[in-house]
Structure 1
Amino acid sequence: MSLVRNCKVIRSSKTYHGKQGFDYGEAISTESVGSEGICMHLLTIPPGQRAKAHLHENHETAIYMIQGKAAMWFGEKLEQHMEVEAGDFLYIPAGMPHLPYNPSESETCTAVIARTDPNEQESVVLLPELDDIVGK
């Protein structure tokens, strides 16, 4: 792909539905700006919603919580659990199975997500065998 390299502003008005089960605010990716090593987008999780269990092969993820609180099951069998709240940063290593969700029944949570995969959905591997391990 031959793209003219230049600085670009993305006004996040488009969304897309990811394999993980959430809608993402489209931002920086190979598809939108021709990035070669990073993807960044906005995620708002509605109250009580959760993703499908998944991992990102060979790609790290960094998350900054803008508002609300989110939680995540993670580990080989989703045996570990953590919560993050507004102002927290979260790191997920490449290949780490995880299942994020919004524990609130009334408030949304919003985060900026950056990944070392410039093609946002390319490295997503769904893990349906883990979806029912943790409570819904």
Structure 2
Amino acid sequence: MTECRKLRPHTAHDGKQGFAYLQGISRESAGSAGICMHLLTVPPGGRARAHKHASHETAIYQLSGRAVMYWGDRLQHRMDTEAGDLIYIPADVPHLPVNPGPDPVTAVIARTDPNEQESVVLLPELEHLVP
């Protein structure tokens, strides 16, 4: 029998891309089959490693703060985001988010891969492209 579940995020795990994610809905925590949802806080000056999600899409709802996301094959595009923005990242698109501001950035992140440690592909060869 499939069960509904309620979780309260209180345990963090380190993602490959360099941020700590509060445990959310995943295969491991709730038995989900097709989605993973976490809470993320990026401290002022925080920066992810350049990466992509090879086989799944990402949707983000930014709750607070201002961030910048560089994206594209050479991270040549820039997207400035703020609280209230919804951000979509297609599968296989390289990106690198940064919090340049004085305040933390908080967001709800959902992915179409149900695993907590989703299929992140690190792209260290792109790191130098973002100041």
Fold in common (TM above 0.5): yes
Q: In structure 1, how many angstroms separate the alpha carbons of the residues matched to 2:111 and 2:24?
A: 12
| Deviation at residue 122 of structure 1 after TM alignment | 3.1
| Deviation at residue 121 of structure 1 after TM alignment | 2.0
How many residues matched?
A: 131
Name segments (4+ residues, structure 1) moved above 6 Å.
none
**Where in structure 1 are there 5+ consecutive unaligned residues?**
none
Q: In structure 2, how many angstroms separate the alpha carbons of the residues matched to 1:91 and 1:120?
A: 19
- 1:24-43 correspondence runs (5 A): 24-43=21-40
Q: In structure 2, how many angstroms separate the alpha carbons of the residues matched to 1:122 and 1:9?
A: 21
Report the counterpart of residue 130 of structure 2 in structure 1: 134
Q: In structure 1, how many angstroms separate the alpha carbons of the residues matched to 2:105 and 2:54?
A: 25
Coordinate RMSD, CA, aligned: 0.8
Structure 2 residue matching 1:83: 3-state secondary structure:
strand
Matched, 1:88 2:102: no
Q: In structure 2, how many angstroms separate the alpha carbons of the residues matched to 1:5 and 1:19?
A: 30
Quick one: which of 83, 104, 121 aligns to 1:108?
104
Q: In structure 1, how many angstroms separate the alpha carbons of the residues matched to 2:24 and 2:12?
A: 9
Q: What's the TM-score, normalizing by structure 1? A: 0.94
- 1:1-136 correspondence runs (5 A): 5-104=2-101, 106-135=102-131
**Where in structure 2 are there 5+ consecutive unaligned residues?**
none
Q: In structure 2, how many angstroms separate the alpha carbons of the residues matched to 1:70 and 1:9?
A: 30
Quick one: which amino acid aligns to residue 113 of structure 1? Answer: I
Deviation digits for residues 12-45 of structure 1, max 9, x if unmatched? 0000010000000110000101100000000100
